[in-house]
């Protein structure tokens, strides 16, 4: 009898397949709107925050300040973001998503939203609460692990 549960010992492979599918979906969504994955991630962080300084974006992406400047240049040329001087410190630049870009992003994620809505429909409200509790706690854990990987990178030229 087939089940939706992995066999004992297969949890690692199931989770890895899940993470790979999420990553592949993000790459496909980025390509659908003409962005590279790092640009997609940066735009997502900007959309979540509303705006960030270029330094804050550099920290979130792990890119050097020079690479972050080039990334912002590409996003600005593509019509996804706008730069403005920081009103509190004119030496800084604030980067914000351009509202007109959001429909392009939403169109790219619509298929994913529809497929995931069908998956979530399988769960009770209580089960969804557990899933979203996991997401709430897993995201910071992934960010912490990412920082550990960056600090341990043997090649000092690797993206930070």
Mean pLDDT for the stretch of residues 4-9:
64
In a domain, 135, yes or no: no
Instruction: Quick: pLDDT tens for 63-104.
Output: 999 999 999 999 999 999 999 998 888 888 899 999 999 999
- Of the pLDDT bands very low, low, confident and very high (cuts 50, 70, 90), residue 5 is low
In a domain, 131, yes or no: no
What value does the mean pLDDT of the chain take? 91
* pLDDT at 47 (0 to 100): 95
In a domain, 154, yes or no: no
Which stretch of 3-12, 31-40, 61-70 has the lowest confidence by average pLDDT? Answer: 3-12
Strand residues in 6-104 grouped as ranges (E)? 52-53, 81-86, 89-97
Considering its fold, how many domains does the chain have in total? 1
Q: Which domain holds residue 75?
A: 28-101
The Cα–Cα gap between 129 and 63 comes to 34
* pLDDT at 86 (0 to 100): 86
The Cα–Cα gap between 46 and 24 comes to 21
| Residue 40 host element (H or E) | helix 37-49
In a domain, 120, yes or no: no
CATH code, domain with 34:
1.10.10.10
In a domain, 122, yes or no: no
pLDDT of 157 higher than 60: no
In a domain, 137, yes or no: no
In a domain, 115, yes or no: no
pTM for this one?
0.84
The Cα–Cα gap between 99 and 82 comes to 10
In a domain, 113, yes or no: no
The Cα–Cα gap between 80 and 96 comes to 9
* pLDDT at 153 (0 to 100): 82
């Amino acid at each position: 009898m087939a089940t939706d549960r992995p066999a004992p010992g297969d949890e690692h492979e199931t989770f890895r397949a899940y993470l790979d599918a999420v990553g592949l979906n993000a790459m496909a969504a980025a390509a659908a709107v003409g962005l590279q994955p790092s640009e997609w991630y940066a735009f997502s962080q900007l959309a979540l925050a509303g705006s960030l300084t270029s330094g804050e974006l550099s920290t979130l992406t792990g890119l050097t300040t020079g690479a972050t400047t080039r990334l912002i240049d590409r996003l600005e040329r593509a019509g996804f973001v706008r730069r403005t001087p920081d009103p509190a410190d004119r030496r800084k630049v604030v980067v914000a998503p351009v509202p007109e870009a959001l429909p392009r992003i939403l169109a790219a994620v619509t298929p994913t939203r529809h497929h995931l809505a069908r998956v979530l429909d399988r769960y009770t409200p209580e089960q969804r609460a557990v899933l979203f509790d996991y997401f709430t706690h897993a995201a910071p854990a992934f960010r912490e692990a990412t920082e550990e990987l960056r600090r341990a990178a043997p090649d000092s030229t690797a993206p930070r």
